[in-house]
Structure 1
Amino acid sequence: MTGKIVVITGAGGGLGRALSRRLASDGDTVVMLGRTLSKLEEVATGIGERAVPIACEITSPDSVRAAFAQIAETFGQIDALINNAGLFQPSTLLEASDELITDAVMTNLAGTAFCARAAIPLLKRGGHIINVTSESVAIPLPFLTIYQASKAGVENFTQMLNLELYDRGIRVSTVRAGTMVGEGMSAKIEPETMMRMFADAGKRGIDMMARGASSYESTVDAFRLILNSPADLYVPSVAFHGLPAGWTDAG
């Protein structure tokens, strides 16, 4: 097989699924990591021989080590890791359960670190780690205190890890994503919570109804841009957000 070997976490749905499909169609081999092997296998079957599904619970260091040991045995080296898996559960801190706080930090921040640590020995010189964060790092969206904090941690982690891996010739970048919609969406918000979010956002001068959303398929180009960057070019971060419905028809 030609092309790059790219490991993608959270590949069973949403953005991870769209990334897997697109990169495989471009000629890359995608190693699809996710909690549920049956879901990964279903998506991989539709993609074909360029998709390799491997079960991995990214919040478990042992599970991550086992998954990357399997990757090492199969491929030897990889070209890129996309830390896409994330947990999005809107809540105020006061109302957040112990599990919500722990799961958000373990999935969004610790899981990203576990996978990056396991990938480093396998990454080729000129390879890439891409960490997915959120527009909420820069925009004061309500009910996202825990989520935003974990994603802000990932952005700081990205900056420091890039310096740490400089001598290895491995680049570490951030993709700061806006709202995305499409097949395989995993985030489900209770209607009451959504209404409260929208009301609180309005008090902060943010019209949630006017904010646009992009499709998972549209956003893949941001990752392709980074993966295709020449060896002597570093793209520290890419940010995107959707446009309101009908924007392209304006004028």
Structure 2
Amino acid sequence: MANGRCVAITGAGSGLGRALARRFAEDGDTVILLGRTGARLEAVAAELGTTAQAIVCDVGSSASVRAAFVEIAERHGRLDVLINNAAIYQPTFVKDATDAQIEAALTTNFAGPIYCARAAIPLMRPGGQIINISSETVALPHAMFSLYQSSKAGLERFTEALRAELEPEGVRVNMVRAGQMTDEDSKSPSDDLEVLRRFAEENAKRGLDLRARPVSSFQSVADFIRLLTHLPADLNAPQIVLEARRP
């Protein structure tokens, strides 16, 4: 293990997860990349070098999470930081939602962080930290995002409960509600052009012009989260709300 901390990041193959992995690797931390797509994880691990480890893990599966954290325990013996970042967001009206879409939102966005936290806690010592990534959509009147919004709202409530539970153990728990983000290869929330058209149209009806709203970079958010893991011992920041702004 490197001299730094041991940091596990879910959804680490792209987007914010990849930006986080890059940022923590710069500090010399051991970075554990968790995600469903092995090829993406391996590409990030190859970029970061010997301090990165890729582990294929579907956070929506309790068995997959359990196996991944057994591997972390066997190889590293401890975990200093867990960042629950993996999420699925697919625009749909509830009346049109498939079973698969409902299950994906609930298992990946809500149950997944619970599974990962449960597996991580035994590996953490006082000073450990769990950071759950939420979304600004919880507080905005988005159309066609009820599955995503409600799963993230559940995650926020879980974060509050977990913080109270782990405070006596000396483990910090934080919630970061992030705004719109992008990077060099961001993907749209759907491959269906008709769904995207309807998504923009319905949100415009609610006063949300998605194309006009400011967008921050994944790297900027990753830089902030890195700072959050270096708080003085006598401080905590239980809930952080980040908003994109035009520089």
Q: TM-score, normalised by structure 2?
A: 0.95
Q: Name the residue aligned to 1:76.
A: 77
Task: Structure 2 unaligned segments of length 5 or more: list them.
Answer: none
Gaps of 5+ in 1: none
CA distance in 2, matches of 1:158, 1:175: 10
Find out whether 1:98 has 2:102 as its counterpart. Answer: no
Counterpart residue number, 1:200: 202
**3-state DSSP of counterpart to 1:172:** strand
- CA RMSD of the aligned region, Å? 1.3
**1:142-221 aligned within 5 A:** 142-189=143-190, 190-221=192-223
Moved more, 216-225 or 127-136: 216-225
Count of matched residue positions in the alignment of Structure 1 and Structure 2: 245
Q: Give me the whole-angstrom Cα distance separating, in 1, the residues matched to 2:28 and 2:167.
A: 28
For 1:165 and 1:186, how far apart are their aligned partners in 2? 36
Q: Deviations over 1:91-112 (max 9, x none)?
A: 1101111110011100000011
Q: Structure 2 counterpart of 1:215, which letter?
A: S
Q: 1:99, 1:236 → 2: CA distance?
A: 33
Contact in 1 for aligned 2:23/2:226 (Cα 8 Å): no
Give the 3-state SS of the residue equivalent to 1:87 in structure 2: coil
Q: Which residue of 1 aligns with 2:129?
A: 128
Displacement of 1:179: 1.3
Q: How far has the Cα of 1:173 moved from its partner?
A: 0.6
Distance apart, 1:209 and its partner CA: 2.3
Indicate the residue corresponding to 1:242 in structure 2.
244
Matched residue type, 2:17: G
Q: Is the 8 A contact 2:130 2:172 kept in 1?
A: yes
Equivalent runs, 1:42-57 vs 2, <5 Å: 42-57=43-58
- 1:136-164 per-residue CA deviation (whole Å, 9 max, x = no partner) reads 11111111011100000000000000001
Secondary structure at 2:82 match in 1: strand
Shift of 1:213: 1.1
Secondary structure in 1 matching 2:90? coil
Contact 2:91 2:189 in 1 (8 A): no
